[in-house]
Every structure is written in structure tokens, then in C-alpha cells.
Amino acid sequence: MFKITWYGHATLGLESGGYRILVDPFFSGNPLSPVRADQVQADFILVTHGHGDHVGDTVAIARRCGALVISNYEICNWLDKKGVKTHAQHLGGGYQHPFGYLKLTFALHGSALPDGTYGGNPAGFLLTTPDGLKVYLAGDTGLFGDMKLIGEEGLDLAVLPIGDNYTMGPEDALRAVKLLQPKHVIPIHFGTFDLIRQDAQRWAQRVQADSSARVHILKADESFELS
């Protein structure tokens, strides 16, 4: 069983192999989040890139829960100095964690950390769960043609930004679905601020008319399960 919960913006909670995993845990200052950073639990935290709306509350949650943070080498270095336990990987590299096999994928974006420190290359994540489900978390990214290569792995679920301005917008996210060919899609990184307001229902109708993917629009704190 694999369960994913959206906390607004790009903040996700995963349950995989019996472990609790937070992705880009931005709770403080996230207007869509129904929960506070001190109310969540995590065994692992995944950070796609260094921007403040993704690193978010990583340090506080990791310290309180003793969670292991997985990110790129540069971001892990920055977190190590703040007393956080980390596991560094890098683009194209995978590792068998207790919750599944996790590979860092390319993302077309920036990654400076909140204090201006160089945060290496931004990433997405491709997770193969202990049950063999394949889940692609694109992170903040523009459209890129190598999404086709990621799609060749056979995706059960793709989580894609649709907000435009900072990441893919609805048009390019539809093209991404066609390259990735996932069974299910969840749109994120929209609606948080005026700059990234989108009509997700309308996007879902277009995706479903133009591909075989099923779109699931979650409310903040709502979950979706794969089995």
C-alpha cells in the first residue's frame, strides 16, 4: 500500500513500506497547509531543491522527529551543519532505503538555499515502493523531453507542478503527462499565491480528454492511495 497526502503547495506526506515520509515540508508560511510543522511526524524527509518553499521546516521537523533527510550532496552538507542527519544522493543515483528504492531525477529549475548558499542541482524523485509501485515526484521543473525516459519505467503515479510562472504551467504539464504516461496524476504547486493560481478542475478535464491518465485533485490534507 502506498498513500500520499497533499498539505498544499508542494508539501506531501507519503506512507510507503510502513514508513512516514515528508516531501518538501513547507508548513510555516504555507497559506494552504491545514497543519503546523510541530504537528507532523516523519521517519524520512525528502527535499527536492534549496528554495525556501521546499526546504521549509525541514530542520525543525528533522531535529524533533530524528528523521533522516535525503537530498542532493550540497543541500545535505548545509543541513549537516545544522545538526540534521542526512543521506546525500545525486541526479541519476538510486539507493535502496527501507521505504523503497529512491532515485534522484533531473529537474529544470534553480536550487539556491534560503541564506544564499549554493544548493547544487534541483531534483525530482522516482520511488519504487516495496510493493513495486512506481511514483514520480517531479519537483519544481519546467517541461523537458527526457520525461519520456522516466515514463519508460512505467509510472503508477506522477505528481506534477501546474502553477506556471516558477514551474510548468497547465499547457506544459499536459505535455508532460503525454511523455510520462502515468496511470494517475496529482497536480501540485498551484493556488498558494496569486502568481500561481490555476483552474485545476479544467486542467484535469483536458488531461483526461487527451490522455489515459486519471487526475486526482486533492484538497489540502486529503490523501490518495495506490495498492
Beta carbon of residue 130, minimum distance to Mn ion (angstroms, whole number): 29
Distances (CA, A) of 134 to 82, 131, 151, 152, 180: 32, 9, 10, 11, 12
Residue 24 found at the interface with Mn ion (CB under 5 A): no
Residue nearest to Ni ion (CB): 51
Closest CA to 33 of 49, 15, 55, 11: 11
Positions in 47-86 near Ni ion (CB under 5 A): 51
* Distance (Å, whole) CA 216 – CA 14: 16
Residue 53 found at the interface with Mn ion (CB under 5 A): yes
Partner whose footprint covers residue 57, from Mn ion, Ni ion, none (CB < 5 to 8 Å by kind): none
Q: Which of 15, 57, 140, 172 binds Mn ion (CB under 5 A)?
A: 140
What number of other Cβ atoms are within 10 A of residue 86's Cβ? 21
Partner whose footprint covers residue 172, from Ni ion, Mn ion, none (CB < 5 to 8 Å by kind): none
Residue 9 found at the interface with Ni ion (CB under 5 A): no
Per DSSP bridges, beta strands 68-72 and 86-89 are parallel
Size of the chain in residues: 227
| Closer of 108 and 226 to Ni ion (Cβ) | 108
By CB under 5 A, name the binding residues for Mn ion.
53, 140
By CB under 5 A, name the binding residues for Ni ion.
51, 140
